[in-house]
Amino acid sequence: MADPPHILVVDDEPQITRVLRTSLSAQGYDIRVANSGEMALEIMKDWSPNLIITDLSMPSIDGVQLCRAVRAVSHIPILVLSVRDQERQKVEALDAGADDYVTKPFGMSELLARVRANLRRVATESEPESVIEIGDFRIDTGARKVTVRRREVRLTPKEFELLVYMARRPGKVINHRTLLGAIWGGQSTEQVEYLRVFVGQLRKKLEPDASSPRYIVTEPWVGYRFEPGE
């Protein structure tokens, strides 16, 4: 029998950690709790989570710093919780390597759906490796490396997933709901802000001129189209 997925919950609010431990354990997940970023990193020295759920506002090592520390050694999904819903904080967390963002207070059904969607990404990483060579791009899905016109580009896990999904459908208009469902799961198909943030980040890293994109083209009111170049 396979071991249940391991989830590390990081939050300095005891009420939140109690609720999350109870609800996630009831779903069959193996849960450990840390009340600080430092404790989370200590736990990870001898225990490997499949998913991290972390608050942003914590003393000393906050959620953004924890994301950066984890991303330096691992591609495991990170789901961020915060009472703050301003776009600046969302962008900061996502750019630090977070995969998903849920604002407190949240519904447990929504959170569990996000957990399932992010754990599915872990499962798909066991699929056969492949290299996508198209136009100006070379994308090694096994090594998770991207080069554009022979220039290596460093992407966060979610940026990489989004690029791979579009690169496998060159020239095709992909609507917002399809992209959101494929990358973030069916519960996120109305979160167009996710796409705005991630497409903006991808353009900054991939495009010669992010203000005049030629690789990731906006189809107004519909979605995006990937044009890999000649």
Question: What average pLDDT is seen over the chain?
Answer: 88
Residue 136, pLDDT score: 96
* Cα gap 208→153, rounded to integer Å: 12
Evaluate if residue 2 carries a pLDDT over 90. Answer: no
Evaluate if residue 208 carries a pLDDT over 90. Answer: yes
pLDDT, mean of residues 163-178: 90
pLDDT, mean of residues 47-59: 93
Residue 1, pLDDT score: 53
DSSP state letters, the chain: -PPPPEEEEE-S-HHHHHHHHHHHHHTT-EEEEESSHHHHHHHTTT---SEEEEES--SSS-HHHHHHHHHTT----EEEEES---HHHHHHHHHTT--EEEESS--HHHHHHHHHHHHHHHHHTTSPP-EEEETTEEEETTTTEEEETTEEE---HHHHHHHHHHHTSTT-EEEHHHHHHHHH-GGGTT-HHHHHHHHHHHHHHH-SSTTS-SSEEEETTTEEEE----
Given a contact cutoff of 8 angstroms between Cβ atoms, the answer to whether 66 and 41 are in contact is yes
Evaluate if residue 128 carries a pLDDT over 60. Answer: no
Evaluate if residue 217 carries a pLDDT over 80. Answer: yes
Evaluate if residue 126 carries a pLDDT over 60. Answer: no
What fold does the segment set 131-226 form as a domain? Arc Repressor Mutant, subunit A (1.10.10)
pLDDT, mean of residues 156-170: 92
Residue 148, pLDDT score: 97
Q: What is the pLDDT of residues 54-107, one digit of tens each?
A: 998 888 898 999 999 999 888 889 999 887 665 677 777 877 888 888 888 888
For the chain, give every domain's residue range: 6-123, 131-226
What fold does the segment set 6-123 form as a domain? Rossmann fold (3.40.50)
| Whole-prediction pTM | 0.68
